[in-house]
């Protein structure tokens, strides 16, 4: 079930989708460790702006990244649906939290359901996008997690 | 390779063998330094023998073959047919290394190429080449065998007396202070007599200190809990000091022919048991109608033999003595008269036991056969002769069943076992049935049963469970969480107001705290294994460079945090190699300088408060400050006109790209070492100091915190955020008067504290936290190597002990933040490292 890039740059696999601002995004389900409700976040001085801070995940201190700020979208009021998606870190494999507005569903994508990211017209940096999912009459932006976590 | 592919069994064998190989390596290194060390030969022989036996049992032919060859050579050394010279020790060390690779490869890694024929030949050749000069070689006759016996007896005595005393102690009412004191005093005697290891005496000392609090009714129950906890630790500590008396019987697949472990201990036991039997006989013969005291003596003599046999691992004798003893017990209790028949039976019992003892004495091991007098006596006593087996429902997890063990030998088919199991009646044991029906020879069942007992004993009593570090960390994390939630319960006024709740919550708090200290203690491991690696490194280096180096290891039992052991292993290895390579001169130079030809390297560890000091000292040529400075200048690492004190000059070796070796050897001298050493040590908050005198030698002193896990910290508030500062760094807190903090041109804000000008750093602006009031606030003066610093914060919230967590983040952050901790309310607090707060 691993997501694999096909010749056309589209992806196949199972994704966890979530909402940030007006768009629905997806990350590979295999990279997701768990979904937790919002926790009190301790800001870490001197860290990059996308990093909200650190939280106590059952005794482990893990960093949390704001997906709004990663996509250079404006911050929003806190909402009870806000959650942290805990994913495996790109390099060390240690967990990293992604703060999102809310989670939506777990969806499967076949090559027919996806197409390569367009060069223009997206709210976010195209280089973060692996493919566009277009099944179930919805447009969902499937993210390349390693790029999302890199360089911040 | 393995008939039944039992992976768990294989893993068990692998771990066990690695331990034995470690032990034999240590022995061989001792032997290298002292070829007359008979005890080392014995221990190494035993260890390799066990590996060989296990490998035979598992049909691992390659391991068995090599172990056998090594064992043969050791046997020759043991019998003084071959001298333990360097060639012999080297070959044996190589064999041990190969065996380690082979056992290491058991779970799927690629095994080393070849069939070890060369190595086996080398070992074999050594067996014969030396024959001519054996007469000239007679090591000083040391009494190691007696020592081994003494140790065995001491170990048994330790466990027996400790068990009894602790049992007594635990049964005592907490209020009986005098009785508890008496009991502790006797434990103290016992500890001195048998030289108990340090952790045990420590636990005992703590128990004695509890006497005062035990005397006070108000604190009694708490103190008693502590007392029980300490006695548990005492028991573990004594047990950990290798008191494996029950597993003394060496399990060997190839049977009794080679397994002659510790003959003296057998003969000691036999003579002692004989003496008891003679006493019993005297009682018997004195009168046909003995009185109560005589019956008591008779009973006790069998009972004692039974106990000793149990401790020394002679199940047959134990079983037999038990049968006689139980036959006599109604008489002792007065419920039955001492009849003529019973008289005859107990005499037969004495004869039977004698026969068993003489059988044991003659063969050195329990042969698995019942001598005729014993069999006769047994049948008259109604004793069914069985092989001790563990009932399936009593079998600890991970210990294979008897049938499985037999199938693994490859000599019994699974079908045979299954057929036999089908006809078993309730209460009958598989092993007995197999022998009875003649399907499997008794000796083979016996061996499998012994192996099973050994595994079970390990699994239960002194069993060390191997737990992955990740799970250990998880446990520590969860216990930390438990502590926090417990505190939340304890602080909840609504809960505490409930009747009876306060007492329960208090007790719970105690349990959770014990759990925490236990969980954190799990992280501590002795330095022994690390030191042992160093011994090997010194040996190899010395051999390669043809130097003579005596290595002394002190304090191998000192325990430090597991992460610390990992962090210092590589730096230490590097330093030890350096010492052997650059530090110690060649024998010729040493002799010319009037020093002993053999260099001396000393590696020691000791506790000092909450730190561990690891010191490496050599008596080599020492570091020459002038040379170091010249080298640094030549390499452009310091300015050409720099003036350095000797101490500063020593520090140069920590610079990247610095190497003093005139020749680059294969071992060290490429200048990529000491800078990495220092960096690794700093990562675990360690420090390294150098002292050296030209021509006399050098010493490297490493200071390490005992654990990186716990920190006593001052909690402080800045805006709405909280931070922690190590309490060891705090000098004082000042609430400044208006005007006390002054602005000095070019140096920022300072305050005069204790006659010194201390720079003031406001944490709010430094960390970009809004909402702090520069006019208000407290100054926390912290000690640093670079001079004190005063942090301006909004409020001090108090002291607390926290568990330090790494900031699991590869994102950049302010360098002044070193780690994190979970605070009392479950939130994360950040720990400030004062030395990294920059003042300019």
pLDDT tens column, B508-563: 888 988 888 788 778 788 888 888 888 888 888 888 888 888 888 888 888 888 77
CA distance B726 to B714: 6
pTM of the shown model? 0.45
DSSP characters for B792-820?
A: EESEEEEEEEEEEE-----S---TTEEEE
The two structure tokens encoding residue A84: 């942290």
> Rounded to 10 degrees, what is the CA torsion of B478, B480, B482, B488?
-150
- Tell me B750's DSSP state: E
By the 8 A CB rule, do B22 and B231 touch? no
| Angle B475-B478-B482 from CA coordinates, rounded to 5° | 130
The pLDDT value given to residue B284: 64
A 82-101 residues with CB below 8 A of B?
89, 91-92, 94-96
Q: What is the pLDDT of residue B246?
A: 27
A53-57, B97-101, B384-388, B678-682: which has the minimum mean pLDDT?
B384-388
Question: Which residue in the set B478, B768, B827 is minimally distant from A45, CB to CB?
Answer: B768
Q: Give the strands of the sheet with B697-705, arranged side by side.
A: B549-554, B599-608, B611-618, B697-705, B687-693
Residue pointed to by tokens 């191998």 = B556
CA B532 to chain centre: 12
A55 CB neighbours in chain B (<8 A) are: 828
**Interface contact A46-B721, CB threshold 8 A:** no
Q: What is the CA radius of gyration of chain B?
A: 33
Q: What is the percent of chain B where pLDDT is above 70? A: 75
Question: Quick check: A59 contacting B, CB < 8 Å?
Answer: yes
Rounded CA gap, A149 and A89, in Å? 7
pLDDT for B615 beyond 90: yes
CA B559 – CA B524 distance, rounded (Å): 6
Q: How many CB pairs under 8 A join A and B?
A: 86
| ipTM beyond cut 0.95 | no
> How far does B813 lie from chain A, in Å, by closest CA?
4
Q: Is the pLDDT of residue B830 over 90?
A: yes
* Cβ–Cβ gap A61/B769 under 8 Å: no
Q: Do A44 and B815 touch (CB under 8 A)?
A: no
> Residue B690: enclosing H or E segment and its boundaries?
strand B687-693
Q: Which tokens hold the place of B650? A: 């020593």
Of B289 and B296, the one with more pLDDT: B296
Sheet holding B756-762, edge to edge: B730-734, B778-782, B789-793, B756-762, B748-753, B741-744
Mean pLDDT of chain B: 75
Give the integer Cα–Cα distance in Å for A142 and A124. Answer: 12
Asked if residue B137 has pLDDT above 60, the reply is no
Q: Tell me the per-residue pLDDT of B445-465, one tens digit each, with 9 for 90 and over.
A: 767 776 777 776 666 555 567
**Residue B689: CB partners within 8 Å, gap ≥ 6?**
B700, B701, B703
What pLDDT is attached to residue B189? 73
pLDDT of residue A102: 93
Cβ separation of B828 and A94 shorter than 8 Å? no
Tokens of B74: 């050791």
Q: Parallel, antiparallel, or unpaired: how do β-strands B756-762 and B789-793 relate?
A: parallel
- Report pLDDT digits (tens) over A71-83: 888 888 888 899 9
Examine the pLDDT at B158 and tell me if it is beyond 60: no
Is the per-residue pLDDT at B366 higher than 70?
A: no
Q: Which residue of B has its CA nearest to A62?
A: B808
Q: Which two tokens stand for residue A56?
A: 């106590």
Query: What's the token pair of residue A58?
Result: 């059952």
CB–CB of B811 and A51 under 8 A? yes
Tell me: pLDDT of B121 over 90.
no
Q: For the stretch B292-322, what's the b/e string if a residue is b when 16 or more beta carbons lie within 10 angstroms of its beta carbon?
A: eebbebbbbbbbbbbebbbbbbbbbbbbbbb
- The pLDDT of residue B581 is 83
| Position B776 confidence tier, pLDDT thresholds 50, 70, 90 | confident
Most confident of B114-123, B655-664, B727-736: B727-736
For an interface test with B, the pick among A39, A45, A86, A151 (most B C-beta atoms closer than 10 Å) comes out as A45
Q: Which residues pair with A54 in a beta bridge?
A: A42, A63
Instruction: State how beta strands A83-88 and A102-109 pair.
Output: unpaired
- The partner residue sitting opposite A92, judged by closest CB among B476, B810, B817, is B810
Instruction: Tell me which of B116-130, B359-373, B684-698 is least confident.
Output: B359-373
Indicate if the pLDDT at residue B150 is higher than 70.
no
- Nearest Cα of chain B lies from the Cα of A58 at a distance, in angstroms, of 6
Task: For residue B606, list its beta bridge partners.
Answer: B613
Kindly tell me if the per-residue pLDDT of A42 is higher than 90: yes
Say yes or no for a CB contact (<8 Å) between B814 and A45.
yes
- Residues B647-705 pLDDT 10s: 888 888 887 767 654 444 444 444 446 777 887 787 777 788 888 888 888 999 998 87
Identify which of A14-18, B68-72, B183-187 has the greatest average pLDDT.
A14-18
Whether the per-residue pLDDT at B723 is higher than 50: the answer is yes
Mean pLDDT of all residues in A28-47: 92
The Cα–Cα gap between B752 and B246 comes to: 69
pLDDT confidence of residue B250? 28
Task: Please report residues of B whose CB lies closer than 8 A to that of A61.
Answer: 805-808, 820, 822, 828
The 10 Å Cβ neighbour count of residue B339 is: 12
Using the predicted structure, report yes or no on whether residue B119 has a pLDDT greater than 90: no
Does residue B294 surpass a pLDDT of 90?
no
In this predicted structure, what is the pLDDT of residue B582?
82
Residue B50: strand, helix, or coil:
helix
Least confident segment among B44-58, B254-268, B611-625, B754-768 = B254-268
Strand-pair partners of B752:
B757
For CA atoms B334, B336, B337, B340, the dihedral sign is negative
B394 vs A64, more confident: A64
pLDDT grade, residue B398 (50/70/90)?
low
Question: Helical H runs in B372-468?
Answer: 372-380, 402-408, 414-423, 430-436, 442-460
Which residues, listed in sequence order, are joined to residue A20 by a DSSP beta bridge?
A23
Sign of CA dihedral B1, B2, B4, B5: negative
Q: Is the pLDDT of residue B346 over 80?
A: no
User: Could you tell me which residue, B159 or B667, shows the higher pLDDT?
Assistant: B159
Q: Tell me how far apart the alpha carbons of residues B578 and B674 are, in angstroms, rounded to a whole number.
A: 9
pLDDT band of A43, cuts 50, 70, 90 = very high
Q: How far is CA A127 from CA A4, A97, B74, in A?
A: 17, 21, 67
Q: What is the pLDDT of residues B316-331, one digit of tens each?
A: 777 778 777 777 777 7
Identify the pLDDT of residue B459: 62
Phi, psi of B815, rounded to the nearest 5 degrees: -60, -20
pLDDT in the model for residue A6 = 44
Task: In whole angstroms, give the CA distance from residue B74 to residue B534.
Answer: 24
Please, what is the Cα angle at B252 between B246 and B253, to 5 degrees?
A: 140
Please say whether the beta carbons of A44 and B767 come within 8 A: no
Give the model's pLDDT for residue B249: 29
- The pLDDT, as a whole number, for residue B148 is 47
3-state SS assignment for residue B292: helix
- Tell me what pLDDT residue A36 has: 93
Residues listed for chain A: 152
pLDDT of B155 strictly over 60: no
Is residue B790 a contact partner of residue B758, using CB atoms and an 8 Å limit? Answer: yes
Q: Percentage of chain A with pLDDT > 70?
A: 89
Confidence of residue B481 (pLDDT cuts 50, 70, 90): confident
pLDDT at residue A26 tops 90: yes
Select from B484, B722, B828, B831 the residue whose CB has the most chain A CBs within 10 Å, as the one to mutate to test that interface: B828
Q: Could you tell me if A58 lies within 8 Å of chain B, comparing CB atoms?
A: yes
Query: Angle at CA A148, nearest 5°, toward A147 and A150?
Result: 60
Strand partners, B759: B750
């Amino acid at each position: 079930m691993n997501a694999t890039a096909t010749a056309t740059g589209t992806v196949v696999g199972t994704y966890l989708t979530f909402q940030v601002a007006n768009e629905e995004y997806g990350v590979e389900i295999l990279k997701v460790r768990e979904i937790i409700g919002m926790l009190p976040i301790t800001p870490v001085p001197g860290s990059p702006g996308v990093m909200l801070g650190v939280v106590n995940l059952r005794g482990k201190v893990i960093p949390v990244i704001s997906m709004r700020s990663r996509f250079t979208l404006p911050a929003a009021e806190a909402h009870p649906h806000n959650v942290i998606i805990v994913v495996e870190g790109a390099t060390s494999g240690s967990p990293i939290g992604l703060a999102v507005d809310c989670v939506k569903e777990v969806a499967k994508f076949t090559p027919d359901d996806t197409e390569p990211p367009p060069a223009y017209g997206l709210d976010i940096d195209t280089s973060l996008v692996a493919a566009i999912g277009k099944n179930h009459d919805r447009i969902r932006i499937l993210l390349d997690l390693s790029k999302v976590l890199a360089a911040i | 390779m393995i008939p039944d592919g039992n992976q768990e069994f294989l893993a068990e064998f692998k771990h066990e063998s690695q331990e034995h190989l470690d032990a034999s390596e240590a022995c061989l290194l001792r032997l290298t330094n002292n070829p007359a060390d008979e005890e080392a030969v014995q221990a190494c022989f035993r260890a390799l023998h066990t590996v060989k036996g296990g490998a035979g049992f598992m049909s691992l032919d390659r391991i068995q073959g090599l172990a056998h060859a090594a064992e043969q050579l050791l046997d020759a050394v043991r019998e003084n047919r071959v001298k333990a010279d360097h060639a012999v020790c080297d070959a044996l060390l190589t064999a041990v290394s190969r065996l380690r690779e082979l056992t290491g490869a058991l779970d799927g890694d690629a095994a080393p190429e070849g069939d070890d024929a060369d190595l086996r030949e080398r070992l074999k050749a050594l067996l014969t080449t030396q024959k001519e000069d054996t007469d000239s070689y007679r090591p000083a006759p040391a009494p190691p065998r007696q020592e081994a016996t003494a140790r065995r007896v001491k170990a048994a005595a330790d466990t027996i007396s400790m068990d009894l005393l602790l049992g007594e102690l635990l049964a005592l009412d907490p209020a009986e202070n005098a009785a508890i004191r008496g009991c502790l005093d006797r434990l103290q005697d016992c500890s001195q007599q048998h030289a108990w290891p340090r952790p045990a005496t420590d636990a005992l000392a703590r128990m004695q200190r509890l006497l005062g609090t035990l005397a006070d009714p108000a604190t009694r129950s708490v103190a008693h809990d502590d007392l029980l906890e300490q006695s548990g630790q005492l028991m573990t500590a004594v047990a950990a000091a290798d008191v494996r008396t029950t597993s003394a019987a060496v399990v060997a697949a190839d049977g009794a022919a080679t397994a002659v472990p510790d003959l003296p201990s057998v003969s000691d036991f036999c003579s002692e048991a004989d003496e008891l039997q003679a006493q019993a006989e005297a009682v018997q013969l004195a009168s046909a109608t003995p009185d109560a005291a005589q019956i008591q003596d008779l009973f006790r003599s069998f009972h004692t033999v039974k106990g000793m046999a149990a401790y020394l691992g002679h199940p047959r004798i134990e079983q037999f003595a038990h049968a006689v003893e139980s036959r006599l017990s109604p008489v002792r209790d007065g419920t039955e008269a001492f009849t003529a028949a019973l008289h005859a039976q107990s005499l037969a019992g004495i004869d039977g036991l004698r026969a068993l003892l003489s059988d044991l004495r003659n063969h050195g091991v329990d042969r698995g056969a019942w001598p005729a007098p014993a069999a006769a006596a047994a049948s008259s006593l109604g004793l069914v002769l069985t092989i001790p087996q563990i009932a399936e429902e009593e079998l600890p997890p991970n210990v294979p069943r008897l049938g499985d063990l037999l199938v693994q030998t490859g000599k019994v088919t699974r079908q045979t076992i299954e057929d036999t199991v089908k006809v078993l009646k309730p209460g009958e044991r598989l092993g007995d049935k197999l022998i009875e029906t003649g399907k499997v020879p008794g000796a083979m069942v016996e061996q499998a049963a012994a192996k099973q007992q050994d595994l079970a004993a390990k699994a239960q009593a002194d069993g060390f469970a191997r737990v992955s570090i990740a799970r250990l960390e998880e446990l520590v994390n969860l216990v930390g969480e438990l502590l926090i939630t417990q505190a939340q319960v304890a602080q909840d006024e609504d809960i505490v107001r409930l009747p009876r709740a306060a007492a329960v919550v208090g007790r719970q708090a105690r349990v959770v705290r014990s759990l925490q200290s236990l969980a954190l203690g799990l992280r501590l491991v002795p330095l022994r294994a690390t030191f042992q690696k160093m011994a090997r490194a010194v040996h190899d280096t010395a051999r390669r460079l043809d130097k003579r180096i005596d290595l002394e290891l002190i304090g191998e039992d000192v325990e430090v945090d597991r992460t610390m052991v990992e962090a210092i292993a590589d730096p230490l290895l590097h330093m030890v190699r350096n010492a052997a390579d650059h530090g110690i001169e060649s024998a010729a130079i040493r002799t010319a300088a009037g020093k002993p030809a053999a260099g001396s390297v000393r590696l020691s560890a000791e506790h000092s408060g909450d730190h561990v000091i690891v010191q490496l000292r050599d008596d080599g040529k020492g570091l020459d400050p002038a040379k170091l400075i010249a080298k640094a200048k030549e390499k452009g690492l310091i300015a050409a006109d720099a003036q350095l004190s000797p101490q500063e000059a020593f520090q140069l070796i920590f610079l990247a790209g610095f190497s003093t070796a005139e020749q680059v050897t294969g071992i060290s001298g490429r200048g990529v070492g000491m800078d990495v050493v220092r960096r690794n040590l700093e990562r675990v908050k360690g420090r390294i100091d150098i002292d050296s005198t030209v021509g006399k030698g050098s010493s490297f002193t490493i200071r390490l915190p005992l654990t990186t896990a716990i920190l006593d910290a001052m909690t402080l508030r800045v805006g709405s955020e909280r931070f922690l500062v190590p309490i060891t760094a705090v000098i004082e807190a000042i609430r400044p008067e208006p005007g006390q903090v002054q602005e000095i041109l070019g140096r920022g804000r300072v305050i005069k504290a204790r006659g010194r000008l201390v720079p003031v750093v406001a944490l709010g602006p430094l960390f970009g936290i809004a909402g702090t009031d520069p006019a208000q606030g407290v100054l926390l003066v912290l000690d640093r190597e670079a001079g004190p610093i005063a942090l301006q914060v909004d409020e001090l919230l108090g002291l607390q002990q926290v568990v330090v967590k790494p900031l699991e983040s590869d994102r950049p952050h302010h360098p002044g933040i070193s780690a994190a901790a979970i605070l009392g309310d479950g939130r994360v607090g950040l720990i400030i490292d004062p030395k990294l707060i920059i003042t300019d």
